[in-house]
Every structure is written in structure tokens, then in C-alpha cells.
Amino acid sequence: MFYIRGTAILVLWFIAARATAFCQLRNASEYSQDRINTDGTYFVLRDEAAADFGWASEWTMYSSIDYSEKCAMLVWHFKDGTKGYSMQAEDIGETGRSIGYFISGKSSNLQGANSKPIQPMTRSNYPVKVELWIGEIGETGFSPKVLIDSACFDTKAIEPNRAYHFSMCKQEPAPHF
């Protein structure tokens, strides 16, 4: 009798363990590297006082574990040298586990390094580069620590109410000696 009951308990334990393992595996990341998704990263100048910024990134499960309690942020570099910041995820680990490894968002507002709102975009001052960083966001503002990826935008002019997407930055050729 004890043998049958013990076997039944063991079988139920294996079934429960298998179900738990399956739940963990089905939330694995499909991405092989952390990067900015250029199809989902864009900006739109609405008028001289308003703009929209959209972003998307892909994360590996390993980064979700390694940077579990860190923030993901974007640094927008403008033509005149101004930098604007936007938070992408407050806790990369929790975002990966609960939402997924493709993180997207949009905002009409960027912030300066000190977390104060800024809007530097005009027809002649638009983003020329966006960087994805791991870091901290606290009372003193944005503190990027680890650069994950960057994307660039290279054009001579932009028009209002048109979405402009970034592309991968051109690599400088290696010097020949």
C-alpha cells in the first residue's frame, strides 16, 4: 500500500515539475543578441513645439538575468549635440519575465540627464543617433552604465508629420598599416 501511494506521489511530483519547467521554457527569448529594433525606432516632428519618439528593442534571456534589477534607457543624440533621455524598462529582469523580450514604447516627451522635460527637436535639429543603455534612473536623473547598441539617422533635412526610422550605424573602416 505504501509503495503504491509513494509511487503515485512521485508521479504527481514529476508532473508538477514538468509543468513548471514548461512554463519557464515557454517564456524564453527568441533573440540571439540585445539590440535596437530599427523598424520600431523612429521620431516624428509634429510642429516646432511637439514631437513623438518611438522605440523598440530586442533582449536575450541572459541580459534579463544579468541586469535583472537595472533600467534600460535610450539616449537620443541631436544634431546640435543636445541629448535627450527616455526610460525603456524600469526592471529589465521583470519586464523579460512578465511582458517579453521585445520591448517597445513611445512618448511625446524626452528628459534631460537631470530628468527635467526637454524638447530640442526642430526641422534643423533632429536626432542623428539613438543609443540603448543599461543603467540607473534615480533622484539625480539618468545614469547610463553599459552601452548595448546604437542606431543612426543620416539625412540633410526632415519634414513635419513624417516618421523617420533609424538604421544601423556605419562602421568606420579599419585603418590599413
Report percent pLDDT > 90 for the chain: 56
Secondary structure (3-state) at 68: coil
Best-predicted range by mean pLDDT among 30-34, 73-77, 171-175?
A: 73-77
> Which whole number is the average pLDDT over 40-50?
90
Q: How many CA atoms lie within 13 A of 52 on its CB side?
A: 14
> What is the average pLDDT value for the chain, to the nearest integer?
84
Q: Please determine, for residue 3, whether its predicted confidence score (pLDDT) is greater than 70.
A: no
What are the residue ranges spanned by the domains of the chain? 1-30, 35-168
**Grid cell at residue 177:** 598599416
The number of angstroms, rounded, from the C-alpha of 130 to the middle of its chain's C-alpha atoms is 11
Render pLDDT for 88-144 as a digit per residue (tens, 0 to 9): 888 887 877 777 889 899 999 999 999 999 999 999 999 999 999 999 998 889 999
- Contacting residues for 57 by C-beta, under 8 A, at least 6 apart: 34, 35, 36, 37, 41, 72, 88, 102, 103, 104, 132, 148, 149
Cα separation of 134 and 149, whole Å? 10
